[in-house]
Amino acid sequence: GEGFDHASLNRAFRELVAGADFVALAVNRTFRDADGLLSLDAGAFVAALEFASGRSPVVLGKPSPDFFLSALADLDCPAADAVMVGDDAESDVAGALNAGLGAALLVRAGKYR
């Protein structure tokens, strides 16, 4: 949100080059904001830090295969039997398919364009 300014990004960059762990919750491009329009999501800031630091983050959320497989383990559901329903072609649909889920459906809601 509003906290992503140059000073904050530069502080994070300096921590990364000093050896801090690089962990991202997600690398989504956009989200549908309260005003109904698309806004930059965390992915743009993660990409900037990745470029500047020369390091790659550990992604804990979508589209990481571990994210989807962890959810399935909690459900005791084999990946081939699972269907992902989401509004983001990259993080939801491609992420689920790359993790080996049986199917993924893109819905025309949320940030779908």
Q: Which of 71, 103, 85, 90 is nearest to 31 (CA)?
A: 90
Q: What is the pLDDT of residues 28-72, one digit of tens each?
A: 888 888 898 989 989 999 999 999 999 999 999 988 999 999 999
pLDDT tens per residue across span 7-32: 999 999 999 999 999 999 989 888 88
pLDDT of amino acid 2 = 77
Residues with Cβ < 8 Å from 68, sequence gap 6 or more? 62, 79, 82, 84, 95, 96, 99, 101
pLDDT of residue 30: 87
Kindly list the structural domains of the chain, giving each domain's residue range(s) and its CATH number in brackets, ordered by start: 6-59 (3.40.50.1000), 65-106 (no CATH)
Cα separation, 44 vs 50, in Å, equals 10
pTM for this structure?
0.74
Provide the terminal-to-terminal Cα distance of the chain, rounded to the nearest Å: 22
Residue 61's alpha-carbon distances to 36, 43, 67, 80, 113, in angstroms, are: 24, 11, 5, 20, 22
User: Residue 113: pLDDT above 70?
Assistant: no
